[in-house]
Structure 1
Amino acid sequence: MVLIIPNFQDAHGQSLADLPEVWLAKMLQQADEPVELAFLQSSLTLKRDLQRLGLQDIVYWSAFADLQQVDGIEGLPLTLYDFPFTDGLDPFFINGENRVLLYRDGVLEMEIVVHHQLEVEQVVYYRSDGSREINYYSDDGFLSTKTWINNNNQTTWQEWYTPLRQLVFWMDAEQIFHVSPEFQSQFAQSTYANLELMIQERFEQHFHKPTNVIAAYRAGVPATNRFHLSLPAERMVALLEPAIHLDQVNQLRQQLPQVNWVFPSHNLVQQFQAEYESKEDQRLSAIEPYPTSFSPGLSNEFEAQFVYWQVVGQSEEQIEQAVNSLLPKLLSDDKLVLLITGDANSKQLLQLKQQEWILTHLKVDVLGSDYQRYVTEAQPHKFQTEAEWLDFIDNQIMDDDAALDDDDLRLFYRANLFANQFQFIEEQDDDESIFQKIRLFIDMGTHADLKKQIQAISAAVPIISTVPTDLIHSGKNGFLNRTIAALPTQLDYFLKDLHHWNQAVVDSVDLMEEYEQDQIIKRWKGVLNHG
């Protein structure tokens, strides 16, 4: 049996569905391999999360459910309709947010955080001295935890309860944990220096010393969460993510000689070995976290050539260089369309640099009032020709005393069509279906997005990555982009030459086989059986 310790708390905004340990659990479950999850972090939405991830049928154990005696007790979410409000409170529902503010005589007294605008998750009580009491409710509708925070935003007291609202243990102002006398028989000590000691004690009581334990380890996690790697196990394996900090891994490798380290790529292993002179360390291995599927794309069915461009963590200078490299290509080829995603700051910079480029090269201010008026009231992309658009403007919109002539309007028309070749993808649209229509994927980030690169391979889409990756065979299914100036040439290699693009399809099929689920599980068995 394989025991996986997930890390949901330190996902850094990443979707739980994309976490490597979630994919590993799914693969083992689908292959009928014995697997169990052990949650050592507090999660009040665990059942809901597992159901959403398709893991509701997997065997799991929760340290906090054990500590708080939740196992075997079922409940329904507490809703706003069931919550015991006191009289005299005026509710204020914030549109678009899962929050309700409650005032008494114009003074904020309570705040309720809800799920799907109905199910109660947190209740904050605001005190007159500036302090707060926060009550946390589980997705079973039970009061789980109470926290007191002073007016300096410091936690001064915490309490943990059973579903029957019995106090199990609490943390005092000195951050010492005390066991309630009613539950003392279930604990080895009456006080604990930290929460990790309580969790480790309960882990050992439940599992003793399991054979194979895989613990997810994130970049930059608090030191208190690293204790997962020091739990008792015949074989402890640290599952690393692509964004891992290599210096942290090296420190932990020296502190924890019993731990095996699984990197998400051979490139990262080689980089680690080179930086820390660890080529002889047999505890290091690499296994791609995401499996391929066979789902060839349909880009040939589209008139446009869509290029999916992901930009994450890039500097203003890098983004400006990329814009200056790619936009001339768009201007010379109206069938080329960039579909852009990334972090908020990068997308904002991209949009700004695009607007500046259009102003400089097309002499159109896309933020100007005249441009905005004409392209809003008469959207150019809805007309088949420039002449039709000009006729519509002349007959329906143009004022007799307008200062613009036909030459100005022609510039507006061309600038708008050009701007539409530069499309930003909303988060809800940024999913695997996009790989079905694109001709190329550009991964420009601080580390390789292995999940999207695997999706590109599965759809037989060539990849250009600015970070080294195992998933690119240079000149076959993609390129490593070392300088932004080389980007246009690399794009042309696949977009202008059908032979090269077809070669990428063939190489992608080989990679599909290399990284299919059975092969990944086979590699994991090698690590677990032989270290």
Structure 2
Amino acid sequence: MIYYIADLPADTDSLERNPVFNTIKNFELGGFDYQVLIPRLVPFLRYLGAEYGMYDGAHIVHVFDQIQDIQQTEGFPFTMDDVPLPPQTESVYTRDQVRLYQGPQPLGQVTFNRFGFVKQVQWISETGTRTDTYSDRGFVAGAQFKDSNGEVVRTEWYNQDGETVLTGNSTGIHVALAKRDLFDHPDYLTMAALRTEFLNRALRQFDVTQDYLIINIENEWLLDFAQHFEAPDRIIFENIQADQRLTAATISKHAALLDGQTIVTDSPLQAGQLMELETTTHVQQNIELLPTFVTELNLGESNTLAEARLYWRIGLVDDQFKALFWRMLQYRTDYEDLRLIMDLQAVNDQSILEGLVTRFVNEVLEVDTSSTLFAMLQTYYTAKKEHKLLEKQQKAFEAARKQVVGFKKIDDAFHFMDNVSYRYQSDTPELDQDLRFTRVFIDDRVQNDLFMQSRVVGAGIPIISREPSIYFSDGENGALIENDEALFNSLSTYLQGSREWNQALVASIDKINANGTDQLIESWRGILHGQKE
């Protein structure tokens, strides 16, 4: 049996891009005997699992349900009609929430998850706020109380009958008097201590001769939990899609636990750093480099198009990036039809980049974007794209094309501007549609998005990045760059040389074969069978 502690954050809203559940899904496909232990409250996990196609009550253990004394396994989530409202409450609907009023006085607001059900209800009073969190089984699972200054005063957790089970405040976590027979202690200093108690209960059937425990090596409280686990040699550590780098201090603190253990990572950079730390910490590890997200062949059609499209995943739009973006706009002028898809880290960055494009058109291309003709072109092409073009618009366009001096320059400038599009948190169908026609993918954030890269390599697209990745090899199906100059040199290589792009395509297919489902399952079999017996 494999026991996998999945310490999902409470605000998890999708499992498709969750590295933990992607690993678990491959355990399922491989026929492994496993259980997933969920030590936090994740209110809509049933819906998330069903959406992902792998919710199985026999394999998922809701440890926090046991902590909250929740016996109910079924139920229906709340809609707006189910929310108990005081008399004479007026509801004002906005795009993603409902605001509540009694006369002119704000009473609260209701927010919804992406399934359309009630996620939270915040109640406003003179003394502060109370925010209720709703379970997908049709009851309030917890509430957070803040004072008038916005400071958290306490948090309460309830069972399905509305009984208070736990109260958390500045002094710790306190068990309700009527529920103390369910716990080992009446009070706990931290929630981690409480989770540890119930994780140990969930692992009572652990067989130290043949079972395995998988935990995230970056999770400090889980490392502390593992320090006291009865069979430390049966632990496999994962370090996947990590936001932080494992430090020598962390390894030294847990040296006795980590020495000689297997660490599975999906990052070549992290694998290299862990190897380097062996010399400074004197802790030896068996490091396994495995993909989190498997690759599937889904080749695109970019080589059939006259234009070339770049998908550019960007980070912070600061002065340094603005200069780089301006240079990219200048670079585009050397190509007849080079299009940009800008994947934004912050939604408000779109207006900043749009302003830079407009300024470039005005200053460098020397076309007045505020002119009547430019506005007419914008109206014309928008109507044409939406299949709403009127006959008078077509005639006006044709007349301008024949009569206006320099019309082509203005028309080209409009397309230069129009061929920069923007994305923010695209869903998978939108991403796959974009990749279908993408020529080169630039991953330019501090941390690679490995889910996206798995889709990119599946489409046969070369990857340019400042960070190494399991999904591309420098000089084969991508380029590992150190500076902006290298970015443009690599870009030119793939845009101007069909031979180099085709070689990258062949190398991408090799990556697809190496990081597929069957290969990953066999790698995990090898790790499990190779563990110390």
Do the aligned partners of 2:27 and 2:34 also contact (CA within 8 Å) in 1?
yes
The structure 2 residue matched to 1:392, chosen from 384, 396, 401, is: 396
TM-score (norm 1): 0.86
1:509 counterpart letter in structure 2:
I
State the shift of 1:347 in Å: 4.6
> Which residue in 2 is equivalent to 1:167?
164
State the shift of 1:430 in Å: 4.2
**Are positions 1:485 and 2:485 aligned together?**
yes
How many angstroms apart in 2 are the aligned matches of 1:276 and 1:357? Answer: 51
**Percent of counterpart pairs with the same letter?**
19
> Which residue in 2 is equivalent to 1:145?
142
How many angstroms apart in 1 are the aligned matches of 2:54 and 2:98? Answer: 31
Equivalent residue runs for 1:7-406 within 5 Å: 7-9=7-9, 15-57=14-56, 59-94=59-94, 96-97=95-96, 99-115=97-113, 119-129=117-127, 131-171=128-168, 173-208=169-204, 210=206, 211-216=211-216, 227=224, 230=227, 232=229, 234=232, 235-246=234-245, 248-257=246-255, 258-259=257-258, 260=261, 261-274=263-276, 277=279, 281-313=284-316, 315-324=318-327, 326-344=328-346, 347-366=350-369, 368=370, 370=372, 373-379=375-381, 392-393=396-397, 395=399, 406=404
How many angstroms apart in 1 are the aligned matches of 2:32 and 2:308? Answer: 42
State the shift of 1:485 in Å: 1.9
Change (3 A) 1:521 1:315: farther
Do the aligned partners of 2:473 and 2:479 also contact (CA within 8 Å) in 1?
yes
How many angstroms apart in 2 are the aligned matches of 1:351 and 1:466? Answer: 25
How many angstroms apart in 2 are the aligned matches of 1:348 and 1:224? Answer: 41
Tell me the alpha carbon deviations over residues 388-416 of structure 1, each in whole angstroms, 9 at most, x when there is no partner. Answer: 99972485899xxxxxx934654431210
1:302 counterpart letter in structure 2:
L
Q: In structure 2, the residue corresponding to 1:464 is in which secondary structure?
A: strand
How many angstroms apart in 2 are the aligned matches of 1:117 and 1:7? Answer: 22
Change (3 A) 1:470 1:74: closer
Query: For this pair of structures, how many residues does the alignment match?
Result: 510
Q: In structure 2, the residue corresponding to 1:136 is in which secondary structure?
A: strand
Report which stretch shifted further, 15-24 or 389-398.
389-398
How many angstroms apart in 2 are the aligned matches of 1:472 and 1:119? Answer: 40
The CA RMSD measured in Å over matched residues stands at 3.2
Tell me the alpha carbon deviations over residues 427-458 of structure 1, each in whole angstroms, 9 at most, x when there is no partner. Answer: 24642333222222121121222222222222
Q: In structure 2, the residue corresponding to 1:213 is in which secondary structure?
A: strand
Tell me the alpha carbon deviations over residues 147-176 of structure 1, each in whole angstroms, 9 at most, x when there is no partner. Answer: 3221122222332222122222323x4433
Query: Gaps spanning 5+ residues in structure 1: where?
Result: 399-404
Q: In structure 1, the residue corresponding to 2:359 is in which secondary structure?
A: helix
> Which residue in 1 is equivalent to 2:452?
452
Q: In structure 1, the residue corresponding to 2:74 is in which secondary structure?
A: coil
How many angstroms apart in 1 are the aligned matches of 2:10 and 2:358? Answer: 36
Tell me the alpha carbon deviations over residues 343-367 of structure 1, each in whole angstroms, 9 at most, x when there is no partner. Answer: 126555543433332222201243x
> Which residue in 1 is equivalent to 2:389?
none
Tell me the alpha carbon deviations over residues 238-272 of structure 1, each in whole angstroms, 9 at most, x when there is no partner. Answer: 322344322x5433222223244332222322134
Change (3 A) 1:265 1:158: closer
Tell me the alpha carbon deviations over residues 269-300 of structure 1, each in whole angstroms, 9 at most, x when there is no partner. Answer: 21343467358622443222121112222223
Runs of 4+ aligned structure 1 residues displaced above 4 Å come to 223-231, 345-349, 380-383, 388-391, 393-398
How many angstroms apart in 2 are the aligned matches of 1:85 and 1:422? Answer: 47
**Are positions 1:464 and 2:460 aligned together?**
no
Change (3 A) 1:164 1:10: closer
1:43 counterpart letter in structure 2:
V
Query: Gaps spanning 5+ residues in structure 2: where?
Result: 386-391
How many angstroms apart in 1 are the aligned matches of 2:121 and 2:528? Answer: 44
How many angstroms apart in 2 are the aligned matches of 1:10 and 1:240? Answer: 20
Do the aligned partners of 2:167 and 2:173 also contact (CA within 8 Å) in 1?
yes
Do the aligned partners of 2:10 and 2:43 also contact (CA within 8 Å) in 1?
no
How many angstroms apart in 2 are the aligned matches of 1:110 and 1:380? Answer: 40
TM-score (norm 2): 0.85
1:309 counterpart letter in structure 2:
W
Q: In structure 1, the residue corresponding to 2:298 is in which secondary structure?
A: coil
How many angstroms apart in 2 are the aligned matches of 1:380 and 1:105? Answer: 43
> Which residue in 2 is equivalent to 1:417?
415
State the shift of 1:35 in Å: 2.1
Tell me the alpha carbon deviations over residues 299-330 of structure 1, each in whole angstroms, 9 at most, x when there is no partner. Answer: 23333222222112364324422431x33443
Q: In structure 2, the residue corresponding to 1:451 is in which secondary structure?
A: helix
Tell me the alpha carbon deviations over residues 476-516 of structure 1, each in whole angstroms, 9 at most, x when there is no partner. Answer: 21211222223333223223222222212221121122111
1:239 counterpart letter in structure 2:
E
